Chains A and B, each alone.
Chain A
Amino acid sequence: MPLTRIRGRPMSELSDTELLDLFRKEESRHYAFNLLVNQYQRRLYSFIRRMITDHDEAQDVLQNTFIKAWHGLDRFRADSKLYSWLYRIAHNECLNHLRSMKRGLFTNDEAVWGRLSTTLDSSEHFSGDIIQQKLQRALMRLPNKQRAVFTMKYFEELKYEEISTITGTSVGALKSSYHIAVKKIEAWVTTDQTKTDPSTS
């Protein structure tokens, strides 16, 4: 179905309600979902990649996020924004993935940290300069949930209220968590302790 415009507007500018209406019709279900993936894949990938660092693993997590969205979209109620809901799935998938890394081959935090760090040593995967590398290493030393909060607030520039909807954590707790994360990262980036593993801090 080669639709490019709906009600005179490009498909890329569809509202959540219009996208959901299209999804609920059998004949445009796959098409609507394709639009949704196109609309949100970059933002979600960026968040997941900062959490997981490795491209292949980020791709798996992103795929699982959209597969879960496909199965749950019929039950989605428009009382929250679609992207908050998708972020919520991505956030949970990231935490599950990181937990499974620790349960699997990488049995402790240092091993997981080492595995995540290797991506940053390869120019094939990472194009940032020294300071970006230091920042990313510092980010990886944060506990998983705090890293998610910092990433959503600092890089994705989401509001605390939105992060609260996504993570199910109170705004007050998020502010504290972010504040502490900023202090830690500032200290680590300034003193260049980011090349040692987290157990030594």
Chain B
Amino acid sequence: MNSANEHDELKDAPMLRSIPKVDPFVVPDGFFDRFPHQVQARIAQRTSLVERIGTWLRSFSWPVQLAGIATIALLIAGPLYFVLRPASITEGNGVATIDVAPNELDPYTLDETDLYTAIDDAPALMAAVGDGFTPDEMAAYLEHEELPLDLLIEEL
């Protein structure tokens, strides 16, 4: 990395600049010697399981194979549907609403990187705001004011 650029980007962060870049995390002795073997062992384990299932399936005629695959797919898809469906959906008068308690709202659902991407990708928004703002300035403004992007778009 260009050190002049780095210096420029950290010019307003003298404290951060003064901190040495070291790796402070302790790694158990011999970890990196053992790790490649652990990965190979896991690969071998998975490969062997897949091969065994394949061999076992091939020992049946094709209608039985098909029925077996369909059953397995149902066994996986069924519980998945119940786990992944929305927590609570109330349907009434043709309108579906999802109940979410206020404390369940995640403040980082739209985190800043998403925000900057949205601004970058929203020329209409930038045009509405005016020529005077760059995406960086706009992002800094939103960050400073803590304005949600959807409210701002609504206002514009």
Contact = CB atoms under 8 A, between A and B. Distances in A.
Nearest to A107: B104
A189 B1 contact: no
A112 B44 CA distance: 34
Interface residues of B, number: 46
B43 interface: yes
A67 B43 contact: yes
A143 B113 CA distance: 9
Interface in A44-70: 45-46, 49-50, 53, 55, 59, 62-63, 66-67, 70
B101 to A, nearest CB: 12
Contacts of A189: 15-16, 19
A143 B112 contact: yes
Nearest to B119: A173
B46 A176 contact: no
A135 B32 CA distance: 26
Given A127-B24, A128-B22, A67 B39 contact: yes
Contact of A183 (B13, B27, B38, B40): B13
B136 A172 contact: yes
Interface of A, helix, strand, loop or mixed by DSSP: helix
A5 interface: no
Given A159-B1, A176-B136, A180-B143, A185 B39 contact: no
Q: Which 7 A-B pairs have the closest CB atoms?
A: A128-B24, A173-B116, A143-B111, A186-B13, A145-B113, A132-B24, A157-B1
Interface of B: 1, 6, 9-10, 12-16, 19, 21-28, 31-32, 35-36, 38-40, 42-43, 46, 103, 106-108, 111-114, 116-117, 119-121, 135-136, 139-140, 143
10 contacts: A37-B35, A41-B35, A55-B28, A126-B24, A131-B19, A146-B113, A173-B119, A179-B9, A179-B140, A190-B15
